[in-house]
Amino acid sequence: MSIPQTFIQELLARADVVEIVGRYVQLKKGGANFMGLCPFHGEKSPSFSVSPSKQFYHCFGCGKNGDAISFLMEHAGMTFVEAVQDLAQQYGLQVPEDDASPQDRARALEQRQKQTTLTDVLERASDAYRKQLKESPRAVDYLKGRGVSGEIAKQFGLGYAPEGWRSLASVFPSYDDPLLVESGLVILNVDETSGEEKRYDRFRDRVMFPIRNVKGECIGFGGRVLGDDKPKYLNSPETPVFSKGRELYGLFEARNALHEQGYALVTEGYMDVVALAQLGFSNAVATLGTACTAEHLHKLFRFTDAVVFSFDGDSAGRRAARKALDGALPFATDVRSVKFLFLPPEHDPDSFIREFGKEAFARYVSEAVPLSRFLIDAAREGCDLNTAEGRAHFASNAKPLWL
Ligand SMILES: [Zn+2]
């Protein structure tokens, strides 16, 4: 999709960079400009300046600068088109699309409106789950037992879905609203013979983890049981706003820490992300019950140049690492770093830090296996390099990985 340059000019003239940056960074007026802590590098005293007259931001510490669009791209991780659409929506402008037919345009508009409606529905459910957490001592005890403070629970918007089959009926004016099914909150079963429709809440008696997109909007949920019920983890289904092959849990919450810490730690679950944030590693994200795809990585590399995958040291962890390796290969360049961290078999990041401490974990991360070495290890697996057959096997294993 190409957007006419004249529209970009008009949009930038209409948008206020102070307002846009102010959505993400706390700004204070200082003379003609506004100052704040730079979101692109870690600092204690503000050297990040935003000029309302020039409609520009500039950091005297790290040199980052740009306009409202580049800020949304660099800081909120949006693509150019997403940033333009975000601004246009905010300032009530319609993005003209050069190469789109009127039908395509109408369809795109309808799709965006639908997405907005779905995120509204999900936000509303998220608010309700959050309130219900406060009323459930069992759920609060569960989180406390995992070492999660009220502050971290608030930061991640954690909630609780109560036990009943139709708890959401008290949250929405109409439980039969098709949007509840479309957003994945409600399951609709149609009896094959009678044609009778049955609706019930997808998430019941679970601690709820809202999944947010890079704009901070709720696009789905992960729910974890409090006890030993199965399935232990339940995610929202694929919807027009949520695709687990694309979204990373915790990315929105981690975006500042990614700049400060200089790398992203990719873990295996949302509880890992929350536990790590609690222990001072706010730069963790997690895939949602899938292997890490190239699309996940593409998104991550908009925020950071270094990614460390953390895997449990068991065989399932090894297999997951192999899949992540395949996804990561296209991104391995001189400027980007991809590493693999294998925890001891009985540990996840949370238990590791609790047993050995933060410094030990940070050291462990710094000694993670670089992609190039993991690549060779993966190819060598099961090959006896002392024999000609073993070496041939190794070469044939390695071939698809080099290409
Ligand atoms: Zn800076």
Give the model confidence (pLDDT) of 164-207 as tens digits.
999 999 999 999 999 999 999 999 999 989 989 999 999 999 99
**What local confidence, expressed as pLDDT, does residue 181 receive?**
96
333: tokens are 């360049």
DSSP string, 332-399: --SS-EEEEEE--TT--HHHHHHHH-HHHHHHHHHTPEEHHHHHHHHHHTT--TTSHHHHHHHHHHHH
pLDDT at 108 over 80: no
Highest mean pLDDT among 88-102, 131-145, 304-318, 348-362: 131-145
Q: What is the pLDDT of residue 177?
A: 93
Evaluate whether 35 touches 49 at the Cβ level (below 8 Å): yes
Q: Which residue has the tokens 């246009």?
A: 88
User: Which of 125, 143, 121, 145 shows the shortest CA–CA distance to 134?
Assistant: 143
Q: How confident is the model at residue 341 (pLDDT cuts 50, 70, 90)?
A: very high
Average pLDDT over residues 88-95: 86
pLDDT of residue 401: 63
- In this structure, are residues 364 and 299 in contact, taking their beta carbons and an 8 Å threshold? no
Write down the pLDDT at residue 98.
Answer: 64
Please tell me the distance between residue 304's alpha carbon and the centre of ligand 1 in angstroms. 14
Ligand 1 mean position to 193 CA, how many Å? 64
The mean pLDDT of 151-155, rounded to a whole number, is 96
d(C-alpha 145, C-alpha 350), whole Å: 13
What is the 112 CA–ligand 1 centroid distance (Å)?
33
User: Mean per-residue pLDDT for 60-70?
Assistant: 93
What are the residue ranges spanned by the domains of the chain?
5-99, 113-235, 251-402
352 with 311: CB under 8 angstroms? no
| Of 13-27, 179-193, 343-357, 385-399, highest mean pLDDT | 179-193
Sequence-distant (≥ 6) Cβ neighbours of residue 312 within 8 angstroms? 268, 343, 345, 347, 348
Centre of ligand 1 to C-alpha 88, Å, is 27
User: What is the percentage of the chain residues whose pLDDT exceeds 70?
Assistant: 97
**CATH, domain range 251-402:** 3.40.1360.10
Instruction: With a cut of 60, say whether residue 403 has pLDDT above it.
Output: no
* Angle between helical axes of 251-261 and 270-278 (0-180°, round to 10): 50
d(CA 48, CA 373): 39
Task: Give the strand pairing for 206-212 and 197-201.
Answer: unpaired
Ligand 1 center to 400 CA (angstroms) = 41
Distance, in Å, from the CA atom of 151 to the CA atom of 153, rounded to the nearest integer, reads 5
Mean of the pLDDT values across residues 300-329?
A: 84
How many Å lie between the centroid of ligand 1 and the Cα of residue 53? 20
Rounded Cα distance, 236 and 202, in Å: 8
- What's the topology of domain 5-99? DNA Primase; Chain A (3.90.580)
Residue 250: predicted pLDDT: 96
pLDDT range class, residue 325, cuts 50, 70, 90: confident
Confidence of residue 255 (pLDDT cuts 50, 70, 90): confident
Whether ipTM tops 0.90, in short, is yes
Give residue-wise pLDDT tens across range 7-48: 998 899 888 999 999 988 889 998 889 999 998 887 889 999
Residue 35 backbone zone (phi > 0: left; psi -120 to 50: alpha; other: beta): beta
CATH of 113-235, one of 3.40.50.300, 1.20.58.740, 3.40.1080.10, 3.90.980.10: 3.90.980.10
Residue at 352: amino acid letter: F
Q: What's the gap in Å between 213 CA and the centre of ligand 1?
A: 24
DSSP 236: P
Q: State in Å: Cα 60 to ligand 1 middle.
A: 7
> Which pLDDT band, with edges at 50, 70 and 90, does 130 fall under?
very high
How many angstroms separate the Cα of 351 from the Cα of each of 272, 274, 340, 361?
A: 10, 13, 18, 10
The pLDDT of residue 314 is above 80: no
Residue 307 above 80 pLDDT?
yes
Measured in Å, residue 177 CA sits from the centre of ligand 1 at 47
Q: Where are the alpha helices (DSSP H) in 196-269?
A: 251-261
Residue 402 — pLDDT band, cuts 50, 70, 90?
A: low
* Angstrom distance (rounded) from CA 234 to CA 244: 12
- Provide the 10 A C-beta neighbour count for residue 403: 6
Ligand 1 centroid to Cα of residue 83, in Å, is 21
User: How far does residue 341's CA lie from ligand 1's centre (Å)?
Assistant: 29
pLDDT band, very low/low/confident/very high, at 64 (cuts 50, 70, 90): very high
Q: How confident is the model at residue 391 (pLDDT cuts 50, 70, 90)?
A: confident
Strand partners for 36: 48
Residue type, 297: L
For residue 339, what are the β-bridge partners? 308, 370
CA separation (Å) from 162 to 22, 40, 168, 204, 386?
Answer: 36, 40, 9, 5, 60
What is the Å distance from ligand 1's center to 57 Cα?
Answer: 10
pLDDT(294) > 90: no
Interval 346-360 mean pLDDT: 89
Contact 266, 308 (CB under 8 A): yes
Output the six-digit token pair for 223: 């729910």
Ion ligand 1 contact residues with beta carbon within 5 A:
38, 40-41, 59, 61-62
CA atoms within 13 A on the CB side of 365: 25
The whole-number average pLDDT for the span 112-129 is: 92
User: Which pLDDT value is given to residue 99?
Assistant: 64
Q: Which two tokens stand for residue 373?
A: 């070495």
d(CA 270, ligand 1 centre) in Å: 30
Query: Average model confidence (pLDDT) for the chain?
Result: 89
Q: What is the pLDDT of residue 1?
A: 62
